[in-house]
Chains A and B, each alone.
Chain A
Amino acid sequence: VSNAVITGLGIVSPIGNGKQAFLGGLRAGRSGLGPLRRLDPERFRIGIGGEVDDETPGPERGAVLALRACREALDDAGIDPPAAPGMALALGSGAGEMIAMEEALGPPEAELPRDYASPLQPPSAVTSKVALELGLRGRLVTFVNACAAGAQAIACASDLVRAGRAEVALAGGVEILSTMVLSGFEALRAVSRDVVRPFDAGRTGIQLSELAAFVVLEDARRASGRGAEPYATIDGSGTSADAYHVTRPEAAGAGAALALRRALGDAGLEADAIDYVNAHGTATPQNDPAEMAAIVDVFGERTRALPVSSTKGMLGHALGASGAAEVVACALAMKHGFLPPTINFAQPIEGYEGFDFVPNEAREGVRLRHVASNAFAFGGHNVVLMLSAPEGGA
């Protein structure tokens, strides 16, 4: 079994397009959330979200954002797709090109549009468009585990590399804002009317966002052989199901704890080795206490001193892309030696007073050897990724 190392990063997000802008936004604790511009905010109850600065119109927006992130990741890795013909592509997305689906399935049957070259575009349509544009002919895998999809795509791609099924893989997630998704979460009363406050006693819910985030994963020997400098190694992953409720996590976090333990086991790490947990941290009344219960279950008393933060106050909740963005954030944090902050933090969540949520400001000058990144989803799908600094790294 080989190691899968991250040799390239690419991201377009509400806090900046490109890894440098994203890194700057994370370190500054900048929020990318505000009144919607591309969708009419007057049509929604709340009308706040995080948008990517890109004017590509609806039906192709997901593929365009994904391609921007993929191309940056490949450039960053110094890999030209024709030079890696067996490159796999694993993509996660909850809704895919949902604006195209709204136009294709919304009108009554008698008024269906007749002039679409490809009217039905589930998330796999984004995968195939990206592969087509990049000239990829290897394995294509699309995950749709809602908010854990991007993380699962990276877990799958790292397994493909570790198992020798692919020497190089592009993996990540993409999500765009659409009427369907925004109105659905507003109907669920899950959206905050002002700001997103993960792990705060006054948390009032999520705000949705769009982004695309991809990593290049590579066999460690191949990367070393060509002199590439990895950001991090994906040492393991764990997945589980809550088997509890379609939208609510189990209060004790049993499913999430199971995924955390599996990821530790897969990485061959003890819980004590983990220096930082990048939390799913949605800021809903239900997620945050359940996630903390899972973390305490796994890390025990040590949790009080274990930094746990959520980037969703800055990035919003990009659903199927969020886990991938969080892996990019972790890789940058490991390389540059800082902890991304939990912004909008005032009072700790009930029962977790004195815990380290990295409040409001990034913490610089830290050494991160092993990091856990959590992604949990509606339907009870849980994914945890374990990242380690490359040998001799930060």
Chain B
Amino acid sequence: MSWGPAVITGRGVLSPLGNGWPSFAEAVREGRTAPVASFPSTLPDDPVAYHPIAEGAGIDSHGRDPLAAMATAAIAQGLAEAGIETGQGPLDDVGLVMNTGFGPSQALEMHLEQLWSKGPLAARPALFVGTLLSMPAGKAAISLGLRGSSGVTNASDPFQLALDWIRAGRERTVVAGGADCLSAKTLRHHRRLASESGSERASLAQGAAFVVLEDAASAGGRGAATYGELLGCGAASLPQRVNVPWPTGDASDAFARSMAEALRDAGLAPEAIAGVCLAAGDDAACADERYALEGVFGAEAPVTLSPKTLFGEALGASGALGLLAALAWAECGRFEAGKAVLVNTFELGGSISTLVVRPTEAQA
């Protein structure tokens, strides 16, 4: 393995703050918060709140299969910005790693409701196929002709896999990120669990966010613009039975181990870190993460910012949205130029990960 850096050459995003990098970045820089809406449901007198993706994406985000369209649109944006042309035949050397929490949950909900009411003989093949968690990534690969290394993760870090593929020389280019679209029943279950936990949690959000990661030499060779370097990854866990996107126990040790591994992987000392994008979207989880920061950084803690306070909890897209938020904040000088930033993520079930990204200085 070469263990060289991977650079970011493209960014694609559909989010409650805006669709496309310019809209998203502007909203993050200005500190805007995402609008709240009620998810369409069969119980209009008992609405469930969430953050929808911004209007104008041309996607029915409450339709039968919005997740594939959301992921495909965000991936296509990233590839276009990276100057990688699609639609001209298969791209054997462009890989894809997509993370998701509940996958195509609207299709799954429709399918399971039909089985519940009409029985197994009523199963419809097209609807069934659309419920598979891997299908949005498969459809995106088909639509864009991506034939390189392929991975679909569930509530896990997609960036470590992508980074190691590039470091090992298996791929020159990997699109990595995540997406979730939510459904009425998913939201109801989470509202109840949040209520039972006795505290206000970040509202769930729709989102699809991807970056194009590229071997630095390859990107340099073709003269691609770069927006940052992914220097390293770390991970740890606080396994829990309750499958919610917040810790149900003391997560400080796991956050500390994740950040420490990421720094080792990047070959950086804590002094090289200008800021941390927190995984936490609420005070209780935030306390654990801040305690972990004290352990890693001592009294001289870097700047901390919480992306989820802007756009909510986007489940499988959260890590990628956090990474993009870090790049946006770097552009407006929220972090010391030339230094790196940590991006923490807490996934459903207790998987914790940390990315080390150094925003490109010219953009900072």
Contacts and interface: CB of A to CB of B under 8 A. Distances in A.
Contact of B351 (A140, A184, A186): A140
11 contacts: A105-B113, A106-B116, A128-B239, A132-B241, A142-B154, A143-B156, A145-B151, A243-B90, A243-B146, A255-B147, A262-B149
Interface in A226-259: 238-247, 254-255, 258
Interface string A104-118: 111111101010111
Contacts of A128: 237, 239-241, 243, 348-351
B103 interface: yes
A134 to B, nearest CB: 9
Interface string B230-257: 0000011111111100000000011001
Interface stretch (B122-130, B304-312, B332-340): B122-130
Interface in B160-186: 160-161, 164, 167-168, 170, 183-186
Across the A-B interface, give the 9 residue pairs with the lowest CB-CB distance, nearest first.
Answer: A379-B138, A106-B116, A128-B349, A184-B128, A183-B120, A124-B155, A131-B239, A183-B123, A144-B133
Nearest to A135: B239
Given A144-B134, A186-B120, A381 B115 contact: no
Contacts of B138: 241, 246, 378-381
B192 interface: yes
A99 to B, nearest CB: 11
A127 interface: yes
A146 interface: yes
Contacts of A83: none
Contacts of B137: 379, 381
A382 interface: yes
Contacts of A146: 132-135
Interface residues of B, number: 84
Interface of A: 1, 43-45, 94, 96, 101-102, 104-110, 112, 114, 116-125, 127-129, 131-132, 136-146, 149, 152, 156, 159, 163, 165, 179-180, 182-189, 238-247, 254-255, 258, 262, 266, 377-382
A239 B144 CA distance: 17
B277 interface: no
A139 B243 contact: no
Given A239-B150, A246-B135, A188 B351 contact: no
Interface string B180-199: 00011110111010000000
A109 B184 contact: yes
A179 B115 contact: yes
A137 B250 CA distance: 13
A120 B192 CA distance: 12
B157 interface: yes
A182 B189 contact: no
B188 A138 contact: no
B143 to A, nearest CB: 8
B313 to A, nearest CB: 14
A42 to B, nearest CB: 10
B151 A123 contact: no
B109 interface: yes
Contacts of B242: 117-118
Contact of B112 (A106, A143, A262): A106
B129 A132 contact: no
Contact of A187 (B125, B167, B240, B253): B125
B146 A241 contact: yes
B123 A120 contact: no
Contacts of A45: 121
A276 to B, nearest CB: 24
Contacts of A105: 108-109, 112-113, 183, 185-186
A139 B238 CA distance: 10
Contact of B133 (A122, A189, A262): A122
A102 B348 contact: no
A96 B131 CA distance: 13
Contacts of A187: 123-125, 128
A95 to B, nearest CB: 8
B112 to A, nearest CB: 4
Contacts of B92: 240, 258
Contacts of A144: 100, 103, 132-134, 152-154
B237 A120 contact: no
Contacts of A141: 153, 156-157, 161, 351
B62 interface: no
B324 interface: no
A239 B171 CA distance: 10
A378 B134 contact: yes
Given A106-B116, A128-B350, A239-B149, A94 B188 contact: no
Given A118-B243, A122-B102, A109 B350 contact: no
Contacts of B188: 109, 112
Nearest to B347: A124
Given A101-B112, A128-B349, A143 B139 contact: no
A393 B285 CA distance: 50
A245 B142 contact: yes
Contacts of B95: 239
Contacts of B103: 122, 144
Given A122-B155, A124-B156, A180-B115, A379 B236 contact: no
Contacts of A244: 142
Contact of A188 (B128, B243, B348): B128
A51 to B, nearest CB: 17
B149 A106 contact: no
Contacts of B155: 122, 124, 127, 142
B142 A109 contact: no
B349 A140 contact: yes
A132 B240 contact: yes
B347 to A, nearest CB: 7
B170 to A, nearest CB: 7
B145 A243 contact: yes
A241 B156 contact: no
A159 B164 contact: yes
